Chain A
Amino acid sequence: MRIVREFTKGFSTELAPFRLVLGLCPTLAVTTTAENGMGMGLATTFVLICANVLISLMRKIIPKKVRIACYIVVIATFVVAVELLMQAYFYPLYQRLGIFVPLIVVNCIILGRAEAFASKNTVLFSAVDGLGIGLGFTFSLTLLGGLRELLGVGSLFNVPLMGKSFEPFSFMIKAPGAFVTLGLLLFVMNYLTSLKRTRA
């Protein structure tokens, strides 16, 4: 079943921030809480699916030489749509994410999928690919955001979890915490992969 495979690869071999180390800026910047991470991930997923579908539809008429410019226009159009939608329905989240919403345009995951997948595959597969990669990205951001929120604020999705005596570890929600947490998560991922490999 190819369609299942295209979907699940977004969580396994092509899990964007961890495996491919793409799209790091939003991964580091907005993951101060689980909610922010999830919001950013879902906004990116939306752009990813729409851009993949449209690019796949137009893959035969886009001239090879100017394809990157065409992709950027398509992606930017959907990013503007997301910006307007978020302003209308999720204004507090939009304000918290700040300039990182317009910056979805330069998220290399989206351009990467357009170039590597949507420009060569049919609409259905491209949509599934966008959904899989997007949800994988959302999952990674929520995980990172959750860890940082839990240690830095002592809550998860704004629900206090750590009890009264917990001293928030404010290093975690500042910039250095983002780098170190992502580095350690990568370490854990690599370690688990190497364990699996030696067993197989």
Chain B
Amino acid sequence: MEYLLLVISAVLVNNILLAQYLGNCPFLGVSKQMSTALGMGTAVIFTMTLASIITWGVHKWILMPLEIEYLQTLSFILVIASLVQFVEIFMKKSMDTLYQALGIFLPLITTNCAVLGVALLCIKNEYSFLKMVVFSFASGLGFALALVVFAGLRERYVISNIPKPLQGTAIGLITAGFMSLAFFGFMGLT
């Protein structure tokens, strides 16, 4: 039950994009088409879970025993950057179809603040191992959900007649605002 609540909270109520404001650059950048949004979403779910597991281990077994927690930011970003590189090489060698689908999104994820943000949140909220895995996976799922829904909306509104100064990012942000408002409706769930 506790885990179910955690999932609902991470996917809908505290959606990482729309309520916690993490990962907005790819949100606006790759949401022009449904297919790229799906690819990016999947890549983020995958990397986010993996990155949180590894950074959690780094924090627990390296930073804490040595009492150098202040190096958290520096070590986490290095771990994430090298993890992304490693995943990219590994995928290219052994899972070619997956690489074709997700490959181009992987380098972008290094500077996606959602990945680092979730890793930091897991530490800040002092989650146990299992909770951390569930939380990071659900956060990735929430990211993918918001991205795909937004891409769907965006595919619709590009064909409508938008005043010139509003075109592009401006209308995108306003649409995201209303989506965020809609997600507020889930507040009562937890």
Whether A and B are associated in the same complex: the answer reads yes
Task: Name A's B-contacting residues (CB within 8 A).
Answer: 21-22, 24-25, 28-29, 68-69, 72-73, 76-77, 79-80, 83-84, 98-99, 102-103, 105-108, 111, 171, 174-180, 182-184, 186-188, 190-191, 194
- Give the docked Cα–Cα distance between A188 and B165 (Å): 8
Given contacts A25-B25, A179-B180, whether A190 and B165 have CB atoms under 8 Å apart is: yes
Q: Give, as a whole number of angstroms, the nearest-CB distance from B15 to chain A.
A: 9
Interface of chain A: mostly helix, strand, loop or mixed: helix
B130-170 vs A, CB cutoff 8 Å, 1 = contact: the mask equals 00000000000000000000000000000000001111011
Which of B111, B124, B171 sits near A111, CB closer than 8 Å? B111
> For A105, what are the chain B residues with a Cβ–Cβ distance below 8 Å?
73, 77, 116
The residues in B between 87 and 138 inclusive whose CB is less than 8 angstroms from any CB of A are: 110-113, 116-117, 120-121, 124
What are the residues of chain A within 8 A of B116 when measuring CB–CB?
A: 102-103, 105-106
Q: How far is the CA of A178 from the CA of B180 in the complex (A)?
A: 10
B177 contacts A183, CB within 8 Å? yes
Measured between alpha carbons, how far is A29 from B24 in the docked complex, in Å?
10
B166 and A190: CB pair below 8 A?
A: yes
Query: Is there contact, CB below 8 Å, between B121 and A99?
Result: yes
Q: Taking A25-B22, A76-B73, A84-B70 as contacts, is the C-beta distance between A194 and B124 under 8 angstroms?
A: no
**B62 close to A (CB within 8 Å):** no
Chain A residues in 8 Å Cβ range of B18: 175
- CB-based contact B21/A187 at 8 Å: no
Q: Tell yes or no: B71 within 8 A of A by CB.
A: yes
Give the shortest distance, in Å, between A80 (CB) and chain B (any CB). 5
Say yes or no: is B173 at the interface (Cβ < 8 Å to chain A).
yes
By the criterion CB–CB under 8 Å, are B173 and A99 in contact? no
10 A-B pairs with CB atoms under 8 Å apart are A21-B169, A29-B22, A69-B78, A76-B77, A80-B73, A175-B180, A175-B184, A180-B177, A186-B170, A190-B167
For chain B, what secondary structure do more than half of its interface residues adopt (helix, strand, loop), or is it mixed? helix
Q: Is B74 interfacial (CB-CB < 8 Å)?
A: yes
Q: Contact: B21 with A80, CB < 8 Å? A: no
Q: Determine how close the nearest CB of chain B comes to the CB of A144; give it in whole angstroms.
A: 11
Quick check: B173 and A180 within 8 Å, CB to CB?
yes
| Pair B181/A176 contact, Cβ less than 8 Å | yes
Which of A80, A103, A111, A182 lies in contact with B173, CB distance below 8 A? A182
- Which of B110, B111, B171 meets A183, CB within 8 Å? B171
B173 cross-chain contacts in A, Cβ below 8 A: 179-180, 182-183, 186
Indicate which residue in A29, A111, A184 contacts B21 across the interface (CB closer than 8 Å): A29
What residues of B have a CB within 8 angstroms of the CB of A179 in the complex? 173-174, 176-177, 180
Which residues of chain A are near B172, meaning CB under 8 Å?
A: 183
Q: Which residues of A contact B71 (CB under 8 A)?
A: 80
Interchain residue pairs A-B with the least CB separation, the first 6: A179-B177, A183-B173, A180-B177, A183-B174, A29-B21, A190-B165
A69 to B70, CA, bound (A): 20
The distance in angstroms between the C-alpha atoms of A171 and B178, with both chains bound, is 11
Nearest CB in chain A to that of B113: its residue: A106
Contact indicator A176/B78 (Cβ below 8 Å): no
Q: In the complex, which residues of chain B have a beta carbon less than 8 angstroms from the beta carbon of A22?
A: 25
Q: Which residues of A lie under 8 Å from residue B124 when comparing CB positions?
A: 98-99
Q: How far is the CA of A22 from the CA of B25 in the complex (A)?
A: 7
For A79, the closest partner residue in chain B by CB is B73
Chain A hits for B70, CB < 8 A: 80, 83-84
A182: which B residues are within 8 A, CB to CB?
A: 173
Q: Is the CB of A178 within 8 A of B21?
A: yes
Distance (whole angstroms) from the CB of A3 to the closest CB of chain B: 29
**Given contacts A25-B25, A191-B165, A194-B165, are A103 and B177 in contact (CB under 8 A)?**
no
